Structure 1
């Protein structure tokens, strides 16, 4: 989950980015949420939304929450790169064209 931070105008925003090339998302990344209490609130809110939509709740990841609390999660960020999409772009192909084959 992305950490929520304040931008220059004071608005709450997710500290994240996406990289697009020719309209295709190649990568996305974000600063990790390190507050276990906030993470638990988000899990609970997501489950409340699921229940309101008639879906079963998802088990809350207690091992993750425990690890975030002790020893704690240091400030960190990550990026996911779609290697398949990158290779398609390098071959001058597109994901849509690949789906039709």
Structure 2
């Protein structure tokens, strides 16, 4: 069995600033999700944002969306968007 190819991950300054502002488990979950993207940047749970399919977005963990571009052997994290369910137009009802 051949070893799985892992894409190198690079972060834009803006994405790195957002990543660095996150703390605790949420940051760990973000980094784990990005590791999964590095292993498969075209994962079925990701979505293409351009015709060639290289500019993509994926929810990497609960409440965190990553936009990234796959260029050669590199997955460039362009932008990280944080979501809080309470900021939704119609928040979910508490259980």
Structure having the larger proportion of residues in helix? 1
TM-score when normalising by structure 2: 0.25
Which TM-score applies when normalising by structure 1?
A: 0.25
Task: Return the structure number with greater strand share.
Answer: 2
